[in-house]
Homo-oligomer: A and B are copies of this chain.
Amino acid sequence: MMGQATLKDIAKALQISSSTVSRALKDYPGISLETRKKVKELAEKLNYRPNAVALSLRKNRSFTIGVIIPEVVHFFFSTVISGIEEVAINNGYNVILCQTNENHEREKKIVETMISSRVDGVLVSYARETHTFEHFQKMKDMGLPVVFFDRIPDMDDTVNVIVDDGKGAYQAVKHLLDQGYEDILHLSGPKNLAISKLREEGCRKALREAGKVLSEDRIIECPNGTIGESEGICRRIFAHSPPDAVFASNDIAAAGAMRAAKEMGIKVPDQLGVMGFSNWQFSSMVDPPLSTVSQPGFEIGEKAASLLLEMIENHRYIPRTEVLETQLIVRKSTLPQKTGFFDFSASGQQAGLE
Chain A residues with CB under 8 Å of chain B are 1, 3-4, 47, 49-54, 56-57, 60, 62, 64, 71-73, 75, 78-79, 81-82, 85, 89, 94-99, 112-113, 115-118, 138, 141-143, 226-228, 255, 259, 262, 280-282, 285-287, 354
The residue from B82, B99, B117, B280 contacting A99, defined by CB atoms under 8 A apart: B82
* A250 CB to nearest chain B CB (Å): 13
The residue from B73, B227, B287 contacting A79, defined by CB atoms under 8 A apart: B73
- CA separation between A51 and B118, bound complex, in Å? 7
The residue from B82, B112, B116 contacting A73, defined by CB atoms under 8 A apart: B82
Among A1, A262, A282, the most chain B Cβ lie within 10 Å of the Cβ of A282
The residue from B53, B98, B138 contacting A47, defined by CB atoms under 8 A apart: B138
B94 A49 Cβ-Cβ under 8 A: no
Among A1, A89, A97, the most chain B Cβ lie within 10 Å of the Cβ of A97
Set of chain B residues within 8 Å of A71, measured between Cβ atoms = 82
- CA separation between A95 and B286, bound complex, in Å? 34
The residue from B117, B141, B280, B285 contacting A94, defined by CB atoms under 8 A apart: B117
If A47-B142, A53-B117, A54-B57 touch, whether A97 touches B97 (CB-CB below 8 Å) is yes
Q: What is the chain B residue whose CB lies nearest that of A5?
A: B142
Set of chain B residues within 8 Å of A142, measured between Cβ atoms = 1, 3-4, 47
- CA separation between A81 and B81, bound complex, in Å? 13
Pairs A–B under 8 Å by Cβ, sample size 14 = A1-B142, A4-B115, A49-B112, A71-B82, A72-B81, A72-B85, A73-B79, A73-B82, A73-B281, A81-B97, A226-B354, A227-B285, A228-B354, A287-B287
The residue from B57, B72, B95, B115 contacting A96, defined by CB atoms under 8 A apart: B95
B51 A53 Cβ-Cβ under 8 A: no
B285 A4 Cβ-Cβ under 8 A: no
- CA separation between A316 and B339, bound complex, in Å? 68
Set of chain B residues within 8 Å of A56, measured between Cβ atoms = 53
Set of chain B residues within 8 Å of A3, measured between Cβ atoms = 60, 142-143
B98 A96 Cβ-Cβ under 8 A: no
- CA separation between A67 and B354, bound complex, in Å? 29
Set of chain B residues within 8 Å of A57, measured between Cβ atoms = 51, 53-54, 57
Set of chain B residues within 8 Å of A79, measured between Cβ atoms = 73
The residue from B53, B228, B282, B354 contacting A53, defined by CB atoms under 8 A apart: B53
Set of chain B residues within 8 Å of A112, measured between Cβ atoms = 49
Set of chain B residues within 8 Å of A285, measured between Cβ atoms = 227, 255, 259, 282, 285-286
